[in-house]
C-alpha cells in the first residue's frame, strides 16, 4: 500500500468509524461537541462493514482530501463571521445563463444556478449540466455517491454522453462512427457547463470512450433501416441501464493498466444515485434512480408557490418500491430483502449505479476480488458478502422516468440530493426559491393607500421583509440561498447566523453526523418562451 494511504489510515479509521457506527458513537462524541448530534443513525444512507472505510478512500483522492481539509484538530468553538460563512457557502456555486435569443435557438431554459456543500470529505455528491449539441435540449443532473465518490464521479462524467447518444438519430450516429473510423474530427455532442471544481478523470477517458463507442455501434446495428422517432423516455432508460452495465462489465474484464484496473473496480464497488432532467422546449423528462428528487416550482395565480414532485424516491418510504423488491425475489426473502428500511439491511436507496455487491453473484464477486489488485484483496469490505444474499441482483440502475409538459406557471425546477430534502420540506424549498427569484427582480413596494394599518403592524411587516431581503441580497445564486436556509434555518424558518456559523465550522469528522452532502441545481424556465410554445399549438 502506498505510503500516503497508510499514514492516513488511523485518521480515517477514526472518523469513518464514527460515521459508520452512528448510534454507537453517539455517546462517544458527546463530550466533543457542545450539543448532541441530532442526526439519527438511520440518516446515514449506508451502514457498510467497517472495512469498507479503507476501500472508500481511493488513493488518487488523497491529495484532494488534504487540500480540502480545513480543520485538523478536535472540535473547538469556531465562530465564523458572515463573510467567512459566505465564502464557505459560495465556494462551489455556479451559474449559467442561456445566451439570449440568437435568432434560431429560443430556449425554454433561462439558466440555472447550482451549488454543493460537502459534509463528507471529500464530498461524494456530483453534479452535471450540459447542452445537447446534436439534438435540442439541456441535461441537468445530481448524483449522490455512497461508499466513496468513485461511482458518482464516473456517472457524472459518463451518463450524459450515454443519454445524448441514445437520443441521436441513426444518421448522426453513423456520421460519428465514420468520423472515428477514419480519424476525422468528431461532431461535438455535449456542451458542458462546469464549475472549476467539477473535474473529469483524464486517465479513464479512453476506456470510457471505447465503452461508449461500443454502445453506439450497437445502436447503429440495431436500428438499421428504421428511422423511427426517438422516444426520450426510452432513451433515458436505455442510457441508465447501459452505463450501469458498462460499469459492471469494465470491472469484470479489468484493465491491463493497474491504475485503471483499480479505478474501474472502485467505481463498480461504490454506488451512486442519479436524478437527471432533460428539458427540450416544453418537454421536461426527469429520470430518477435512487432518492434524489426533482421538484417543480409552480406559481399560482395569486402569486403563491406550490411544489410539484416530478420524481419518486426509491427507498423504503416508497411502498411500491418495497413491493417491487419483494416481487422480484422469492417469498422466503420477503423479510430479509428490506430490513430496517434498508436493502438487505444495508443500503438506503433501492436503486443505484454501481454497488456490484448487490448485483453480482457471490461467485463473480469472489472471482473478481481474488484476481483483483492487492488493495482490493486486503479490503475487508469487498470480501464481505451481504447477509441473506440468495437471488442477486437485488439492485438496479433502471430509472423511473416522469414526463411533464411545461406550463407558463412552471417557473423553476429544483434538482437536489437527499441532503436537502431531509432538512427541508419540499413546500419550503419551492417557496424560498420562488421568493428569491421574484424578489431579485421586484420586491413589491408597500403602500398604505386607504387601508387601516397601525404603526405596530407596519413595523412587524417591515421587519419580516427586511429579514427576507437581507438574506436574499447576500446570495446571487438561488442554490446558495437554498443551502443557506437548509443549513442555517432556525425553528422559525429564517436564517440564523449563529447556527449557520456553527454548522459550517464543524470539524469534518463531525459534519457528516449533522448533515449530508447537499447538491442543488435550480433551473429557471422562461415563461414567455413556454407560453409561446403553448400558443403555437
Partner 1 sequence: MFYRWLSVVHRHRASRGWRNWSSARSSASVATEHSVALPAQAQVVICGGGIMGTSVAYHLSKMGWKDIVLLEQGRLAAGSTRFCAGIVSTARHLSIEQKMADYSNKLYHQLEQETGIQTGYIRTGSIFLAQTQDRLISLKRINSRLNVIGIPSEIISLKKVAELHPLLNVHDLVGAMHVPEDAVVSSADVALALASAASQNGVQIYDRTSVLHVMVKKGEVTGVETDKGQIECQYFVNCAGQWAYELGLANEEPISIPLHACEHFYLLTRPWETPLHSSMPTVMDADGRIYIRNWQGGILSGGFEKTPKPIFTEGKNQLEIQNLQEDWDHFEPLLSSLLRRMPELETLEIVKLVNCPETFTPDMRCIMGESPLVQGYFVLAGMNSAGLSFGGGAGKYLAEWMVHGYPSESVWELDLKRFGALQSSRTFLRHRVMEVMPLLYDLKVPRWDFQTGRQLRTSPLYDRLDAQGARWMEKHGFERPKYFVPPDKDLLALEQSKTFYKPDWFDIVESEVKCCKEAVCVIDMSSFTKFEITSTGDQALEILQYLFSNDLDVPVGHIVHTGMLNEGGGYENDCSIARLNKRSFFMISPTDQQVHCWAWLKKHMPRDSDLLLEDVTWKYTALNLIGPRAVDVLSELSYAPMTPDHFPSLFCKEMSVGYANGIRVMSMTHTGEPGFMLYIPIEYALHVYNEVMSVGQKYGIRNAGYYALRSLRIEKFFAFWGQDLNTLTTPLECGRESRVKLDKGMDFIGRDALLQQRQNGVYKRLTMFILDDHDTDLDLWPWWGEPIYRNGQYAGKTTSSAYSYTLERHVCLGFVHNFSEDTGEEQVVTADFINRGEYEIDIAGHRFQAKAKLYPVTSLFTHKRRKEDVELSDLQGK
d(CA 50, CA 113): 37
Give whichever of 441 and 452 is closer to partner 1, judged by the CB atom. Answer: 452
Q: How far is the CB of 316 from partner 1 (least distance, A)?
A: 47
| Residue-wise burial string across 365-398, b where 16 or more C-beta atoms lie within 10 A, e elsewhere | beebbeebeebbeebebbebebebbeebebbbbe
Q: How large is the C-alpha radius of gyration of the chain?
A: 24
Least distance in Å: CB of 457 to partner 1?
8
Judged by CB, which is closer to partner 1: 136, or 468? 468
Q: What are phi and psi of 455, to 5 degrees?
A: -60, -40
Candidate segments 14-22, 70-78, 107-115, 460-468, binder of partner 1 by CB under 8 A: 460-468
456 binds partner 1 (CB under 8 A): yes
Long-range contacts of 173-182, Cβ-Cβ distance < 8 Å, separation of 24 or more:
173/216, 173/219, 173/220, 173/223, 174/220, 176/216, 177/213, 177/216, 177/217, 177/220, 180/213
Question: Which three three-digit cell numbers place residue 125?
Answer: 455528491
- Which of 465, 474, 497, 531 touches partner 1 (CB under 8 A)? 465
Task: List binders of partner 1 among 433-452 (CB under 8 A).
Answer: 443, 445-448, 452
Query: Which part of the chain contacts partner 1 (CB under 8 A), choosing from 20-28, 305-313, 333-341, 455-463?
Result: 455-463
Q: Which residues, 6 or more positions from 142, have their beta carbon under 8 angstroms from its beta carbon? A: 125, 126, 127, 274, 275, 292, 415, 416, 417, 519, 520, 521
* Residue nearer to partner 1 on the CB measure, 104 or 452: 452
Of 7 and 462, the one with the shorter C-beta distance to partner 1 is 462
Contact 427, 434 (CB under 8 A): no
- Binders of partner 1 among residues 214 to 253 (CB under 8 A) are none
CB neighbours of 361 closer than 8 A, spacing ≥ 6?
392
Window of 8-16, 62-70, 456-464, 522-530 that interacts with partner 1 by CB under 8 A: 456-464
Rounded Cα–Cα distance for residues 245 and 140 (Å): 22
Minimum distance, C-beta of residue 440 to partner 1, in the bound complex (Å): 15
Instruction: Determine which helix (DSSP H) or strand (DSSP E) holds 239, and give its type and residue range.
Output: helix 232-253
CA distance 264 to 338: 28
CB of 446 to partner 1, least distance (A): 4
Give the nearest distance from C-beta 470 to partner 1 in angstroms. 11
Kindly tell me which residue out of 1, 249, 334, 453 binds partner 1, with binding defined by CB under 8 A. 453
Which of 378, 459, 470, 473 binds partner 1 (CB under 8 A)? It is 459
The stretch among 51-59, 167-175, 208-216, 465-473 that binds partner 1 (CB under 8 A) is 465-473
* Min separation Cβ 491 and partner 1, Å: 23
**Binding-site ranges for partner 1 (CB under 8 A):** 443, 445-448, 452-456, 458-459, 462-463, 465-466, 469
Amino acid at each position: 500500500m502506498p505510503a500516503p494511504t497508510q499514514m492516513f489510515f488511523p485518521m480515517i479509521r477514526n472518523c469513518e468509524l464514527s460515521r459508520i457506527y452512528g448510534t454507537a458513537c453517539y455517546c462517544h462524541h458527546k463530550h466533543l461537541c457542545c450539543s448532541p448530534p441530532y442526526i439519527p443513525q438511520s440518516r446515514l444512507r449506508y451502514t457498510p462493514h467497517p472495512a469498507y472505510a479503507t476501500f472508500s478512500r481511493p488513493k488518487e483522492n488523497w491529495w484532494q482530501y488534504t487540500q480540502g481539509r480545513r480543520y485538523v484538530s478536535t472540535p473547538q468553538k469556531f465562530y465564523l463571521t458572515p463573510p467567512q460563512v459566505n465564502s464557505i457557502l459560495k465556494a462551489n456555486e455556479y451559474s449559467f445563463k442561456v445566451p439570449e435569443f440568437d435568432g434560431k435557438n429560443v430556449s425554454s431554459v433561462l439558466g440555472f444556478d447550482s451549488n454543493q456543500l460537502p459534509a463528507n470529505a471529500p464530498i461524494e455528491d456530483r453534479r452535471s449540466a450540459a447542452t445537447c449539441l446534436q439534438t435540442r435540449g439541456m441535461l441537468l443532473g445530481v448524483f449522490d455517491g455512497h461508499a466513496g465518490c468513485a461511482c458518482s464521479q464516473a456517472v457524472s462524467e459518463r451518463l450524459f454522453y450515454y443519454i445524448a447518444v441514445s437520443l441521436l438519430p441513426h444518421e448522426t450516429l453513423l456520421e460519428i462512427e465514420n468520423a472515428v473510423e477514419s480519424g476525422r474530427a468528431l461532431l461535438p455532442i455535449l456542451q458542458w457547463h462546469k464549475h472549476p471544481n467539477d473535474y473529469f478523470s483524464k486517465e479513464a477517458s479512453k476506456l470510457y470512450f471505447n465503452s461508449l463507442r461500443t454502445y453506439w455501434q450497437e445502436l447503429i446495428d440495431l436500428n438499421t433501416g428504421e428511422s423511427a422517432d426517438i422516444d426520450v423516455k426510452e432513451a433515458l432508460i436505455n442510457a441508465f441501464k447501459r452505463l450501469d452495465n458498462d460499469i459492471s462489465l469494465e470491472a469484470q474484464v479489468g484493465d491491463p493498466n493497474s491504475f485503471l484496473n483499480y479505478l474501474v473496480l472502485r467505481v463498480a464497488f461504490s454506488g451512486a444515485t442519479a436524478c437527471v432532467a432533460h428539458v427540450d422546449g416544453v418537454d421536461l423528462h426527469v429520470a430518477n434512480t435512487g432518492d434524489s428528487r426533482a421538484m417543480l416550482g409552480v406559481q399560482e395565480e395569486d402569486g403563491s408557490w406550490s411544489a410539484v414532485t416530478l420524481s419518486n424516491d426509491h427507498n423504503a418510504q416508497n411502498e411500491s418500491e418495497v413491493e417491487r423488491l419483494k416481487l422480484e425475489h422469492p417469498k422466503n426473502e420477503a423479510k430479509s430483502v428490506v430490513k430496517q428500511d434498508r436493502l438487505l439491511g444495508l443500503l438506503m436507496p433501492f436503486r443505484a449505479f454501481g454497488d456490484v455487491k448487490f448485483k453480482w453473484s457471490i461467485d463473480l464477486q469472489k472471482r473478481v476480488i481474488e484476481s483483483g489488485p492487492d488493495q482490493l484483496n486486503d479490503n475487508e469490505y469487498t470480501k464481505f458478502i451481504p447477509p441473506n444474499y440468495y437471488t442477486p441482483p437485488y439492485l438496479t440502475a433502471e430509472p423511473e422516468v416522469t414526463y411533464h409538459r411545461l406550463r407558463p406557471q412552471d417557473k423553476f425546477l429544483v434538482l437536489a440530493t437527499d441532503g436537502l430534502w431531509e432538512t427541508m420540506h419540499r413546500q419550503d424549498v419551492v417557496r424560498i426559491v420562488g421568493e428569491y427569484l421574484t424578489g431579485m427582480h421586484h420586491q413589491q413596494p408597500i403602500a398604505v393607500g386607504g387601508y387601516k394599518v397601525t404603526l405596530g403592524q407596519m413595523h412587524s411587516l417591515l421587519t419580516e421583509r427586511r429579514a427576507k431581503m437581507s438574506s436574499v441580497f447576500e446570495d446571487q445564486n438561488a442554490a446558495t440561498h437554498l443551502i443557506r436556509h437548509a443549513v442555517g434555518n432556525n425553528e422559525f424558518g429564517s436564517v440564523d447566523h449563529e447556527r449557520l456559523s456553527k454548522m459550517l465550522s464543524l470539524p469534518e469528522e463531525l459534519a457528516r453526523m449533522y448533515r449530508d452532502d447537499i447538491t442543488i441545481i435550480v433551473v429557471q424556465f422562461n415563461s414567455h418562451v413556454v407560453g409561446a410554445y403553448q400558443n403555437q399549438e
